[in-house]
């Protein structure tokens, strides 16, 4: 009888471990996505700084290739987006 009870407890424990593993994997992916969001933001900031400090395009591309910063295209797209949003805000305010 004792063996039967131990077997049931072990099976329940195994099931609980599987549930905990699934929760941990979900938590890991959630934390990784948050981390990627902030890392990408820092890369854009680095690229913007390099462009405003008149760093050569080849230097910027090298940093983008080794994943220290993002490409010039991404920063230019971001600048255009900010510029368009600002223009829209000004237009909405003035009109």
Domains contained in the chain, number = 1
Of the candidates 36, 41, 38, which has an alpha carbon nearest to the alpha carbon of residue 70? 41
> Which are the contacts of 59, defined by CB distance < 8 A and separation ≥ 6?
50
Is residue 68 included in any domain, yes or no?
yes
pLDDT given at position 48: 77
Q: Show the tokens assigned to 60.
A: 């910027």
pLDDT given at position 21: 84
Is residue 93 included in any domain, yes or no?
yes
Is residue 45 included in any domain, yes or no?
yes
Q: Show the tokens assigned to 59.
A: 């230097």
Q: What is the pLDDT of residues 57-93, one digit of tens each?
A: 777 778 777 877 777 777 778 888 888 888 888 888 8
1 pLDDT higher than 70:
no
Is residue 2 included in any domain, yes or no?
no
Q: What is the pLDDT of residues 11-65, one digit of tens each?
A: 888 888 888 888 878 877 777 777 777 777 777 777 778 777 777 777 777 877 7
Is residue 30 included in any domain, yes or no?
no
Q: How far apart are CA 73 and CA 51, in angstroms?
A: 11
Is residue 90 included in any domain, yes or no?
yes
DSSP state of 54: T
The range of the structural domain enclosing residue 92 comes to 35-95
């Amino acid at each position: 009888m004792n063996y039967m009870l131990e077997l049931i407890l072990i099976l329940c424990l195994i099931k609980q471990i599987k549930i905990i593993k699934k929760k941990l994997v979900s938590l890991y992916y959630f934390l990784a996505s948050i981390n990627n969001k902030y890392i990408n933001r820092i890369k854009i900031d680095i690229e913007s700084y390099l462009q405003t400090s008149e760093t050569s395009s080849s230097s910027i591309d090298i940093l983008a290739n080794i994943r220290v910063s993002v490409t010039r295209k991404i920063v230019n797209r971001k600048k255009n987006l900010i510029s368009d949003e600002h223009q829209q805000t000004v237009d909405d305010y003035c009109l």
